[in-house]
Amino acid sequence: MAGLAPLLLADGRLPVGAYTYSAGLEPAVASGLTRDDVPALLRARLRTAAVTEAAAAVLALRAAGQDPVDYGPVQRALAARTPAAPLREASATLGRGVHRLARRLVPDHPAVTALSALCPRPLRPVALGALGAVLAVTGTDLAHAVVYDELQTITSAALKLLPGDPLDTVAWILAAEPDAAAAVREALAVRDSADLPARTPPLTEQWALEHARRERRLFLA
């Protein structure tokens, strides 16, 4: 399991409802983003939201190793850095899926039971930290998984929203590797919830607010 766990966390087929999320691509497309703009969007997300979410997941993983387990500080810090209500709601919805999977695997694990104490529901990075503890992954592996998931979420959604050659999505991910590596390094350097980066891109927030009012959409956000 030690070797498979990081691969499982990075698998887009993980049954936690992530297929309902486009990491901001659908709202961006509705606002005029084209297929040629996707690589720039990937880089922007890797320098902003991905750093914050990966750092929060790693902080939650570290909190899961304490006695008692207390996710409150990282949950509150992450919520404060996610000002748009639709994005907080989407994160909580995805977090519920991760929490459900963790309960199915090891329902009595302290890292899992502590998630139930959070009100409102655990945000996705916090739940991923708990799942990482259940799977005994390292902070480095978890940060890589969260950052890669950002890439594969956007590129997978692009196949539905901006159809084209699927091989392009592979090239986009490989080209983003330097920014992905930098995001992982920044996330691992965060040692305390008070130091969690506030890297939410303003346009993403605005697009999410507009997206929440649309009647026809494929993804939560």
Q: How many CB atoms lie within 10 A of CB 171?
A: 12
Q: Give pLDDT tens digits for 164-221.
A: 999 999 999 999 999 999 999 999 999 999 999 998 888 889 999 999 999 889 999 9
Q: Give pLDDT tens digits for 32-62.
A: 999 999 999 999 999 999 999 999 999 999 9
Q: Give pLDDT tens digits for 49-99.
A: 999 999 999 999 999 999 999 999 999 999 999 999 999 999 999 999 999
Is the confidence at residue 1, as pLDDT, over 80?
A: no
> Shortest CA distance to 88 belongs to which of 216, 212, 214, 213?
212
> Shortest CA distance to 204 belongs to which of 19, 12, 76, 47?
47
Angle subtended by helix axes 124-135 and 139-161, to nearest 10: 130
Q: Where are the domains of the chain?
A: 20-207
- Distance from C-alpha of 52 to C-alpha of 74, rounded to nearest angstrom: 11
Pull the structure tokens for residue 117.
């104490």
Architecture of domain 20-207: Orthogonal Bundle (1.10)
